[in-house]
Amino acid sequence: MSTDQTVSFTQMKDGTKDDYLLLEELEKPYLALTADRVLDELRRQGEATLEGYRITRLQHGLQSATRAEADGADIDWIVGALLHDVGDGLAPQNHDRFSAEVIRPFVRWEVAWVVEHHGIFQMLYYGHHYGWDRNARDRFKDHPCFKSCSDFCERWDQASFDPDYPMKQLEHFEPMVREVFARKAYDPTVIREGVVLGVP
């Protein structure tokens, strides 16, 4: 810890208003560094990655984001594509949900929903090889984001494992990541719950 200021309690239930106001103030610099921590995790995925693929997880995210940008996607879609697998390092068995929670406070509801469910939708391409239901996504066929998630997976995710694809580098996307994570968390004008714009 870099401050001499600490709370008085050892159990949260014993905290005072002053304790919690102190924590709120001390949390601000930490929250301001969220984009840095996310970018650090992406860089780590360029070094420690899932084995067997022809590219790293970082390169996969870069390819997905490059494709999204080339298709004219907005910043929410581009950052969502870049970070859709950011949870692989800490939560490989539910990376889709983990990744969605990282971006959910800062992007449109539709984008967070797609990132959260892309793992189920991706099973269309490989589930049958494991004896799984490749059409598991059909349980969401009446959801307003079904087509968005289907298009996201087809155009930007499953197609992005090519070592020869001319992807843009992380430095290109860094300003977008910083812009998104600088937004006020859960701002209703950003989240726009229920609004579906679709994949361009």
Q: Of 39, 46, 60, give the one whose Cα is nearest residue 160.
A: 60
Quick: pLDDT tens for 142-199: 999 999 999 999 999 999 999 999 999 999 999 999 999 999 999 999 999 999 999 9
What six digits make up the tokens of 123? 């099973």
Distance of CA 34 to the CA centre of its chain: 13
Which amino acid does the sequence have at 29?
P
pTM given for the model: 0.94
Domain ranges of the chain: 12-191
Whether 112 contacts 99, CB under 8 Å:
no
**What angle (nearest 5°) sits at the alpha carbon of residue 43, between those of residues 37 and 44?**
90
Which residue intervals of 55-94 are DSSP H helices? 57-70, 75-83
pLDDT computed for residue 1 by the predictor: 47
What six digits make up the tokens of 44? 């780590």
pLDDT computed for residue 2 by the predictor: 56
In CATH, the number for domain 12-191 is: 1.10.3210.10
- Residue ranges, the chain, pLDDT below 70: 1-3
What six digits make up the tokens of 150? 């289907």
Which amino acid does the sequence have at 31?
L
pLDDT computed for residue 102 by the predictor: 98
